[in-house]
């Protein structure tokens, strides 16, 4: 949901700020910015509270900031940007993630029929009964989707499980929307299902062109 919190007016002349610098860009970073109108790119804002300059990769007329992140980021930097930009979207270069694989289709994680179950944190798609987790059972019995309790559950075409053997765990602390770019015509939104046994991360498939169009008004 979009937050109705205004940013300061954009800075037109950044040369007056001694701590201003230009980040080195990869072809991936540059190509993403070129997907948007030039008037959206590299918009600078002065943060009076911290006396520094924030430069948005993309800032849309609707008030969304899109940051393209090609490398790992510290928790402090993540918190700084998310605190400053009220409507931030991260786009991550997933091709650089080590041990990252999209696995299987998922059911609708918000399906009311699954309210009494929690997903297992495993590469093998299975669930456990929430009642067992509440009782403090550290080894609840995993149930696959052939089990009588789950075999009637329908699967989606746009939600996926995944594994990430060497995760950049800071991204699991993000509050802003996260989009993972693995190349090709589709993107994946990294989402999390709140659970007693720990949030369950999963992916939602998004069309790349649709994502760009959503943040580019027709007049552009």
64 vs 62: CA distance, rounded Å: 6
pLDDT of residue 8: 57
Q: Which residue has the higher pLDDT, 215 or 14?
A: 215
Question: Count of CB atoms within 10 A of residue 136's CB?
Answer: 7
**Type and span of the H or E element at 205:** strand 200-207
Residue 203 structure tokens: 């992916």
Nearby residues of 165 by Cβ (< 8 Å), 6 or more positions away: 98, 99, 100
pLDDT of residue 90: 98
Q: Which residue has the higher pLDDT, 71 or 8?
A: 71
8 vs 59: CA distance, rounded Å: 12
Average pLDDT across the chain, whole number = 90
- Is pLDDT of 15 > 60? no
The pTM of the full predicted model, rounded to 2 decimals, is 0.88
- Is pLDDT of 185 > 50? yes
pLDDT tens digits, 133-142: 999 888 899 9
pLDDT of residue 18: 40
pLDDT of residue 2: 64
What does the domain layout of the chain look like in residue ranges? 1-104+164-220, 112-153
Angle at 181 between CA 2 and CA 191, to 5 degrees: 50
pLDDT band at 21 (very low <50, low <70, confident <90, very high): very low
Percent of the chain with pLDDT over 70: 89
């Amino acid at each position: 949901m979009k937050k109705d919190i205004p940013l300061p007016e954009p800075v037109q002349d950044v040369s007056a700020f001694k701590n201003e610098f230009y980040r080195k860009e990869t072809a991936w970073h540059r190509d993403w910015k070129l997907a948007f109108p030039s008037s959206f790119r590299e918009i600078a804002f002065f943060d009076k509270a911290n006396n520094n300059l924030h430069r948005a990769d993309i800032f849309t007329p609707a008030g969304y900031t899109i940051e393209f992140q090609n490398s790992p980021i510290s928790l402090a930097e993540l918190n700084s940007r998310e605190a400053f930009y009220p409507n931030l979207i991260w786009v991550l270069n997933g091709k650089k993630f080590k041990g990252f694989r999209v696995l299987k289709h998922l059911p609708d994680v918000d399906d009311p029929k699954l309210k009494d179950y929690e997903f297992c944190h495993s590469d093998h798609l299975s669930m456990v009964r929430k009642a067992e987790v509440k009782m403090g059972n550290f080894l609840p019995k995993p149930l696959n989707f052939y089990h009588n309790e789950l075999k009637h559950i329908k699967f989606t075409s746009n939600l996926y499980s995944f594994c990430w053997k060497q995760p950049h765990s800071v991204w699991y602390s993000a509050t802003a929307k996260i989009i993972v770019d693995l190349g090709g015509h589709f993107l994946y939104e990294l989402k999390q299902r709140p659970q007693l046994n720990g949030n369950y991360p999963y992916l939602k498939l998004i069309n790349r062109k649709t994502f760009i169009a959503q943040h580019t008004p027709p007049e552009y």
